[in-house]
Amino acid sequence: MLITLLPVLAVLVSLPWWLPGRIVALRARIFARINGDEGIPVPGDLVGVERFKEVYSHPAAGGRSKGAALSDLFWYWLAPGPEMHQEHLEAGERYDAVARVTRGLLAVPRAEAEELTRRCVARTLGDVRGLVRLRDLMMPLWAEVSYELVFAEPCPRAARDLIVANANDVVTSLKCTGLRHMERRLRLTRYLTGRLTRVRLPLPPGLTPEEQAYYLQGAFFNTAVVQMSEAMAHLLMVLAQHPDVQERARTGDARYLDQVISETLRLYPLFGIAHRITTGAIPLDERNAIPAGSVLCFNYPEFHRAGFDDPGRFDPGRFRADDVHRPAAKELNHIPFGVAANRPCPAWRLAPITMRVAAQEILRRCSLDSSAVHTRSLPNRGPCLLTPLGAARRPRAALAYMRVRDRWEDVWRSLAQLVLGTYMVWDARRQRLCERHFDDRDD
């Protein structure tokens, strides 16, 4: 009896080692099938890595949403109000007005930004310890930071809960680990609509109150919170898995931590692909051009690997400014905040400053260990063990437990992602939020 069951047992026990990888590949095939193969991958056969930045920076690589089936999917995940999300607005007066307000709200002097981050860490993390998920741990912190950037006053607990519920729902659906819960998101929209007059700078004129609330929700209470929480989860995972780097970051100067942040965002860029729709032809040579209306898919992870020795290795030394044998930072294939000529991230200056302070504050309080798998999409939300500095550390048993739990969670999670992801891609194609929006405007 036992002998006949052995092969079944062997398959079951080995599931964590082979099933998640196959499901990811299957999911990619299903997504491609539903979405169609409309995109031109960059780098790829048509545009090599050496012309990546040139094509990304080309004035004709400017369309954001209209004309790409892929946009329906992003709009679905970012709803409500995806048509007011800065990232997805087409160039024009409306975009300029919105981008100006975002720049204003993010233009905080360095010392103030550092102080704000310190204050919010103290309020949200307190004496956190034990087994945590780093992304979840980070969300209340960045919810409070964003709230203060927008309203210039401390974030009430009820508002923080609304913001975290909204951001969590967006990122969970983006990673296909859960479905959208629109009611949760709309509760935040209603709250923001009631507070528009309290924003510390005038909001873009010419927008309805609902559009103004959608704009704030999209940029500051969805993108800012999600991106900062993800970036910090990656940074803390890296520190947890490289004890020597962690020790040096704790005791060394700030420049070293900046190198660690740069290398973390090189290996784990927050964008997998950023897409653009060409508004005119982009010449490649005398005979060939990328035609207007093409969907260019800029692949960040691939670009960040090209041109580095042993690109999969984590090595903050790649960003040492004092090494004369290394290329200058701007010559490296490293664009964690996008390209300057084509709608880069408006938080490119503020984000690393606040990340550094948050990391310093956490390192001052505890040591970090993790045996979980660390991938760019981080669907496990960064399992980590936090031990207060100075307390007795016996992480072995906890890390063994974390490793086994993480591998098994990966099995059921990848199955859930396959089912939920396929449903959401289908539902987004059915709803055609972006296509319908532009059809209505063209009528």
**How distant, in Å, are the alpha carbons of 41, 64, 228 from that of 131?**
39, 40, 21
Collapsed DSSP state (helix, strand, coil) of residue 399:
helix
Residue with smaller CB distance to ligand HEM, 149 or 176: 149
Distance CA 216, CA 98 (A): 9
Tokens describing residue 379 = 């669907």
CB 303 within 8 Å of CB 333: yes
224 contacts ligand HEM (rule: CB under 6 A): yes
Closest distance to ligand HEM from the beta carbon of 382 (Å): 15
Radius of gyration of the chain (CA): 22
Provide the minimum distance between the beta carbon of 232 and ligand HEM in the complex, in angstroms, as a whole number.
8
User: Using the rule CB under 6 A, which residue among 140, 336, 379, 421 binds ligand HEM?
Assistant: 336
Q: What would the x/- binding string for ligand HEM be over residues 139 to 178, using CB under 6 A?
A: ----------------------------------------
Contact status: 333 vs ligand HEM (CB under 6 A): no
In 213-249, which positions are buried (b, 16+ CB within 10 angstroms) versus exposed (e)? bbbbbbbbbbbbbbbbbbbbbbbbbbbbbeeebbebb
Which lies closer to ligand HEM via its Cβ, residue 191 or residue 271?
271
C-alpha–C-alpha distance, residues 10 and 338, integer Å: 46
Quote the distance between the C-alpha of residue 62 and its chain's center. 21
Task: Name the residue with tokens 């913001």.
Answer: 163
When binding is defined by CB under 6 A, the residue of 23, 231, 386, 399 that contacts ligand HEM is 231
Residue partners of 182: CB distance under 8 A and separation at least 6: 79, 80
Q: What φ, ψ does residue 438 adopt, rounded to 5°?
A: -75, -30
Examine residue 99 and tell whether it contacts ligand HEM (CB under 6 A): yes
Site for ligand HEM (CB under 6 A): which residue of 52, 151, 214, 337? 337
- From the list 270, 363, 378, 424, which residue makes contact with ligand HEM (rule: CB under 6 A)? 270
Q: How many CB atoms within 10 Å of residue 103?
A: 12
* Separation between Cα atoms, residue 425 and residue 58, nearest integer Å: 30
Choose the binding region for ligand HEM from 11-19, 35-43, 182-190, 338-346 (rule: CB under 6 A). Answer: 338-346
Contact flag: residue 384 with ligand HEM (CB under 6 A):
no
User: Binding residue for ligand HEM (CB under 6 A) from 65, 71, 86, 166?
Assistant: 86
What's the min distance (Å) between Cβ of 338 and ligand HEM?
A: 3
Stretch that binds ligand HEM, among 16-24, 247-255, 264-272, 308-316 (CB under 6 A): 264-272
Q: Which stretch binds ligand HEM (CB under 6 A): 185-193, 285-293, 340-348, 370-378?
A: 340-348
Residue 343 touching ligand HEM (CB under 6 A): yes
CA distance 56 to 50: 11
Burial of 442 (0-12, 13-18, 19+ CB in 10 A): exposed
Residue 223 tokens, joined: 């993108």
Please pick, from the candidates 79, 345, 399, 425, the single residue that binds ligand HEM as defined by CB under 6 A: 345
Count of residues that interact with ligand HEM, criterion CB under 6 A: 24
Does 87 sit near ligand HEM (CB under 6 A)? yes
182-221 residues near ligand HEM, rule: CB under 6 A: 219-220
Interhelix angle 254-267/224-241, rounded to 10 degrees, is 110
Please give the residue ranges that form the binding site for ligand HEM (CB under 6 A).
Answer: 86-87, 99, 102, 219-220, 223-224, 227-228, 231, 265, 270-271, 274, 336-338, 343-347, 351
